[in-house]
Amino acid sequence: MSGWDINVSGVSSVLKTTGETAGKLKDELDSYQGNMKGAAGHAGTLAPGGEAPKGGGGLVGAALAEFAQHTQNDLKFIAARTSKSLNGAKDATVAYANGDQEMAERLMHEAEKAVTPQEIAAMAGKGGAGSGGTKDA
């Protein structure tokens, strides 16, 4: 086991809170395109020649639409990266917790094994169990 000291319940709490917040990203992403389209339609009619194009919008609307198109994939990446990071943190914490369990089981199995002659000799050389480390006279 490494020198890590992870507070599993603390990580769980942070992941829960962060996951709830990240879950809202999907709703935001879903409404983003519609909101940008609405903004583009209401941005005025700045257009070459001063005439509003059919359907409204003009240059400002076109710029907003292009901006939305180019940022859509970035926002999807942020949502996917967040999800992957949260899952990675969860998996690492579970592995850490399982490692502690495995270590405890391994130590328990070692403790349940029969005492070897070498262990008996080592204990005799140290004064025996429970003697405070001194040899009896």
Grade residue 52 by pLDDT with cuts at 50, 70 and 90: low
End-to-end Cα distance, the chain: 42
This prediction's pTM: 0.59
Mean pLDDT rounded to a whole number for the chain: 77
pLDDT tens for each residue of 77-102: 888 888 898 888 888 888 888 887 77
